[in-house]
Structure 1
Amino acid sequence: MAHSVYSEREVFLRELVSNAADASEKLRYEALSDEALAAQAGAPLVTISLDKDKKTLTVADNGIGMNREELVSALGTIANSGTRAFLDKINADGGGDKGQSLIGQFGVGFYSVFMVADRVEVATRRAGSQEAWLWTSEGKGSYQIAPAQAEEAPAAGTRVTLHLNAESEEFLDAWRIEQALREHSGALAIPIEIAGAPGEEPRRISDGAALWAKPKSEISNEEYADFYRQLGGQFDEPALTVHWRAEGRTEYTVLAFIPGSRPLDLFDPLRKAKSKLYVRRVLISREIQLLPAWLRFVRLVVDSSDIPLNVSREMVQQSPVVAQIGKAIASRIVQELGKLAEAEPEKFAGLWENFGAVIKEGLHEDPQRRDDIFKLARFASTRASEKTRTLKDYVADLRENQTAIYYLVGDDRKRLAHSPQIEEFSARGVEVLLLDDAVDAFWVTSCVGYEGKPFKSVTQGAADLSLVPLKEGEAEQSAGDASAEVAALATRMKEALKEHVDDVRVSTRLRESAVCLIAPEHGLDRQLARLLAEHGQAGALGKPVLEINPRHPAITVLAQAAPGAEVEDGSFMLLDLARIADGEPPVDANAFARRLSARLAKGAA
């Protein structure tokens, strides 16, 4: 039973300590109406004792204890939970939420001890009773119950002694027990002490207070930072700490941190958002997927008493409650990020520098929160290539007759800022977003637009900006300005480059550069096509369109040359120059080097 339900051996300790916490809570509840029990009850405490010579581990509590009938019911029948029965009794008595801190409800947790023990002894005495009992079993289908001698049983409460098997002697080391307790049970509302050897003074390792359960006013920034470092394995300071308690149909407490630096595995494709889930302060899962992948950098602890569990308490059922909590937490974190962006823009700028590329994944993957993410998003542009601007800023500065939000996608912001495709946009003062994150190629295709303005790539289709006024000092130009020789050259170049380009045409977007590459009107954006080609979709890349500048000397000189080898070499050299400007290698590096050397030699002569 134990091996089929549990996957980690150390959970036995969590189950025993959880049972001890429940026993103390039961005693507290019954003492409310029984003065004799109230007088007998001491401060709740769990003590763990180790004996390497005898190879035993003992977990003792001073809680309610059990009589013989309860012992048979709780430990003699699988899945018969004493806690569950106690909760039913409270509810029947109109106890309301007095039992909400109780943990065990399925009656199988105790059996995890047989993963590590060859023999188990349970000595117990119910508070207020003179009788004590000893339950023993080797976990092979039977058990024995006998009266216990007064000196062999606790005055009140339960003592569980495990005779550890050979494979589990690691749990005789105090550091190993402390590690498991801090991981799984350090947040329980009961102090825990450990004695590493017989006769050793017990040492308290948990004071029974979870950080997230305390009021925010009682927690210092240093305490938050220390907990953040333990939680995420980080050595920096958190950039943002969010701590709240949600009340309503589902109650839960959340403590969330956004790291101050970028984790090394942030862009690992297998990485997902990992959160620690506690139910009544007992760790249930250290890697539950509560948040969407685009918030995977958030370090999170969630504690709730309303989440349904499966029998092992190691996994959460796929229930509406879990989904509801996850959605609510994601929305709250986005809200807190928005507040930070408004209140402390410089601090948010650092956070965006670290995690903006991941947050933008939400624009593609999470349409329901797209508007909220747009409010957070910051972009470099031709007006602020070193700093960033919001889409709200962009729309506020739209030029007269500008009908779209223009962008250029690539992998190098500096190269994008000097791209030949944006020369005409700059001449007319039209701002272009410089998108240099890999995810940018995807979200711009799935987002319709922003405030009624569609997103449009400057490398896709013709650039018709004729209705947008030029900046002062700039001259108007059009494709009709090209001479007959340049038009004929475009035809000859198309024939020479037909294996590499879809078309060659006179450009209206080039002012200083000789050539540039763009995607056809209905083709994929150049960067998106490259990314898809790198992932096995070679057909996505297609052939680009080569645009030539009819006023550039390289074009006018080549247009006057006689048809032949010179025009063909010049055509390939111009294509290679356009590819290099786009961040791609020449069609044939050796041929490009040969042609360039010949041109230099000719110029020197």
Structure 2
Amino acid sequence: MSSTLQTYPQIMSAQKETLGFQTEVKQLLHLMIHSLYSNKEIFLRELVSNASDAADKLRFEAIAHPALLENDPELTIRVEFDKEARTLTIRDNGIGMSREEVIDHLGTIAKSGTRAFLDSLTGDDRKDANLIGQFGVGFYSAFMVADKVTVTTRRAGADTAEGVRWESSGAGDYTIENIVKPSRGTDIVLHLKDGEDEFLDGWRLRHIIRTYSDHISLPIMMRAPAKHDDDGKEIESDEMEAVNQASALWSRSKNEISDEQYREFYKHVAHDFSDPLAWSHARVEGRQEYTELLYIPSRAPFDLYERERKQGVKLYVRRVFIMEDTQKLMPQYLRFVRGVIDSNDLPLNVSREILQQSRDIDTIRAGCVKKVLSLLEDLAANDAEKYATFWDAFGQVLKEGVGEDFGNQARIAKLLRFTSTLSDGDGQTVSLADYVSRMKEGQEKIYYITAESLSAARNSPHLEVFKKKGVEVLLLTDRIDEWVTGSLNEFEGKALQSVAKGALDLGALEDESDKQAQEAAEEAARPVVERIRKALEERVRDVRATARLTDSPACLVVGEHDMSANLERLLKSVGQKVEGSKPTLEINPEHVLVKRLADEQDESRASDLAQVLYDQALLAEGGKLEDPAAFVKRINRLMLELSA
């Protein structure tokens, strides 16, 4: 909590005070004042959107407390301008704010991750504009066109003497004072900068509202255009008229809604400045009647991995906004989805507790999940470029569904994308279906390797025999991949097999000559295997000769059902205490270092060589040496002895 919020007791007794903005707000205001956006007109969209949200909140609270509507039950937004005073005003009769709420909402940014967001700003106007759009700082966009902003507000149900006036020029501070405000709601007055006269033109304002805010479900009122008398003299109209359609966009028929209107509604509901990738709009009838309008964003929000984030799909009941923090409506692995669900059957006083136990909600959720997966399947099948954009932004999140949603696991598996040994290195990914279609004759398994980085995966010694035989291997380098492979055992009847687990079994990919060569190598290597086993008895489960290596002298393999070395490292990196099982050291009997060890007469030197083989194998797969100093001494000693 900022130091500003700690001054509440003093504030409430003060008539007027000057307070400093939170540091993060100062930085955002600096960006806004210096006009990050090329289309400044979107400030009006943001302020109208906020007014609409305020009306939604009042409508919901008034269900339980009708007195909050006072004597003004018709919710509206009014847009007014004064050419002489050079002001533009946006008024709403929504929920309004108390003094504490004004300080909280306009003087500070309480969102978690704010510092990380600000640190991500690059100085590139276009990129930073996109980031700010993701952050959703709509109110501050007013300072793109105004050199002073005045906010007067009163919370619904509060005494008329509990009105508040907030004012700032967007510098380091703002003033706040108590006022008498007869009407509830919020008035925002923008004192326009020189050169912003276009926002004092009624036709221009109407065009902006119809372009960006036509979907708002309550009327946006403006004074009717001036008329002219018989002498051509302009006569100002006292009549107010609705500029927008004033009906919930999702309640209209799809053939009445243009793609541009769908896009603008997304920007309103998601507080995003970018166009969505795709959307699904459907009216479901049957045992449950509801309308869903769901969007796939084109970019990940900065707080996608924040545990406390609350944005998601908005729940309405008969076009009355109920809540947005509704994890019950969409599973965690689809938390990037935005939009609305409007039910005809749920009670208006539905609570989060009721949602947790509602079969009706379970039915709605299941239907919406299927819609989202169908939308992604359509993108994957018909628009590879858009699906690649989606995967870059949300692929790691979607992977969570493999372990969370077993009912849809097969569908999710088809949507997964991975890098493989056949990828060309420019970010190209493959699906599991792609992999299966390219499997070698006689290949029975889908082979993969997990590693901390793509380069570590590509250069792993475990891949050598697969490269030799031209067998594709998936290279899994996202942390979530360990969760995926632990939950997904097979795809279309093909088992997933780690190349770093268990004894190598290529099945029909090995011909009889391969098997005979392996048996002969194992027989010939028995003495050196026993020698290494004795030297490493405290560090390994076993030592064996292998045919999986062609260039490297050795590699480490864990048991078929043991935790992978990569997962063990990941768990340890986040503070988990993990008792990993000892690995098996597999050696390449044909490698010169192994042959050198086999021929070594000095047992001490042979032991050093065995330890070096183990440590090199550990380093090759990204492991950490328990005693780096001992490794260095051993290497130095061997180099000196062997060069003598």
Q: Could you say whether these structures have the same fold, taking a TM-score greater than 0.5 normalized by the shorter chain as the test?
A: yes
Q: Offset at 1:282?
A: 2.1
Give the structure 2 partner of residue 464 of structure 1. 505
Deviations 1:239-294 (A, max 9, x none): 22222222222222222221212222333455577211122222210211211111
Give the structure 1 partner of residue 518 of structure 2. 478
Name the SS of the counterpart of 2:357 in structure 1.
Answer: coil
**C-alpha distance in structure 2 between counterparts of 1:444 and 1:58, whole Å:** 52
Of 405, 417, 423, the residue aligned with 1:384 is: 423
User: CA distance change for structure 1 residues 206 and 317 in 2, over 3 Å: closer, same or farther?
Assistant: farther
Percent identity of paired positions between Structure 1 and Structure 2: 36
Q: Offset at 1:562?
A: 2.1
Aligned ranges for residues 118-517 of structure 1 at < 5 Å? Answer: 173-175=186-188, 190-191=218-219, 193=221, 207-269=245-307, 274-289=312-327, 290-310=329-349, 316=355, 318-384=357-423, 386=425, 387-465=428-506, 467-469=508-510, 477-482=517-522, 484=524, 486-517=525-556
Q: Offset at 1:315?
A: 7.7
Could you tell me whether the CA contact under 8 Å between 1:533 and 1:541 is conserved in 2? no
Report the AA paired with residue 232 of structure 1: A
Deviations 1:83-139 (A, max 9, x none): xxxxxxxxxxxxxxxxxxxxxxxxxxxxx987523799xxxxxxxxxxxxxxxxxxx
Q: Offset at 1:10?
A: 8.3
Could you tell me whether the CA contact under 8 Å between 1:254 and 1:301 is conserved in 2? yes
Name the SS of the counterpart of 1:302 in structure 2.
Answer: strand
Could you tell me whether the CA contact under 8 Å between 1:479 and 1:508 is conserved in 2? no
Deviations 1:1-55 (A, max 9, x none): xxxxxxx9987733588879x99xx9xxxxxxxxxxxxxxxxx8858899xxxxx
Could you tell me whether the CA contact under 8 Å between 2:310 and 2:324 is conserved in 1? no
Report which stretch shifted further, 377-386 or 337-346: 377-386
Question: Larger Cα Rg: Structure 1 or Structure 2?
Answer: 1
User: CA distance change for structure 1 residues 479 and 440 in 2, over 3 Å: closer, same or farther?
Assistant: farther
Q: Offset at 1:303?
A: 1.7
Stretches of structure 2 that go unaligned for 5 or more consecutive residues are 1-52, 81-90, 95-153, 163-176, 190-212, 224-236
**C-alpha distance in structure 1 between counterparts of 2:625 and 2:536, whole Å:** 13
When normalised by structure 1's length, the TM-score is 0.67
User: CA distance change for structure 1 residues 593 and 166 in 2, over 3 Å: closer, same or farther?
Assistant: farther
Give the structure 2 partner of residue 82 of structure 1. none
Q: Offset at 1:526?
A: 2.7
Could you tell me whether the CA contact under 8 Å between 1:532 and 1:540 is conserved in 2? no
Name the SS of the counterpart of 1:175 in structure 2.
Answer: strand
**C-alpha distance in structure 2 between counterparts of 1:580 and 1:439, whole Å:** 22
User: CA distance change for structure 1 residues 332 and 502 in 2, over 3 Å: closer, same or farther?
Assistant: same
**C-alpha distance in structure 1 between counterparts of 2:92 and 2:599, whole Å:** 96
User: CA distance change for structure 1 residues 272 and 12 in 2, over 3 Å: closer, same or farther?
Assistant: closer
User: CA distance change for structure 1 residues 424 and 328 in 2, over 3 Å: closer, same or farther?
Assistant: same
Q: Offset at 1:466?
A: 5.8
When normalised by structure 2's length, the TM-score is 0.63
**C-alpha distance in structure 2 between counterparts of 1:454 and 1:311, whole Å:** 45
Stretches of structure 1 that go unaligned for 5 or more consecutive residues are 1-7, 27-43, 51-56, 61-111, 121-163, 177-184
Name the SS of the counterpart of 1:415 in structure 2.
Answer: helix
Give the structure 2 partner of residue 182 of structure 1. none
Give the structure 1 partner of residue 59 of structure 2. 14
Q: Offset at 1:593?
A: 2.5
Give the structure 1 partner of residue 570 of structure 2. 531
Residue 570 (structure 1) aligned with residue 598 (structure 2): no
Of 150, 153, 159, the residue aligned with 1:117 is: 159
Report the AA paired with residue 250 of structure 1: Q
Report the AA paired with residue 543 of structure 1: K
Name the SS of the counterpart of 1:434 in structure 2.
Answer: strand
Aligned residues: 467
Structure having the larger proportion of residues in helix: 2
Q: Offset at 1:510?
A: 0.8
Name the SS of the counterpart of 2:323 in structure 1.
Answer: strand
**C-alpha distance in structure 2 between counterparts of 1:215 and 1:442, whole Å:** 42
**C-alpha distance in structure 1 between counterparts of 2:559 and 2:333, whole Å:** 32
Residue 590 (structure 1) aligned with residue 629 (structure 2): yes
Report the AA paired with residue 339 of structure 2: L
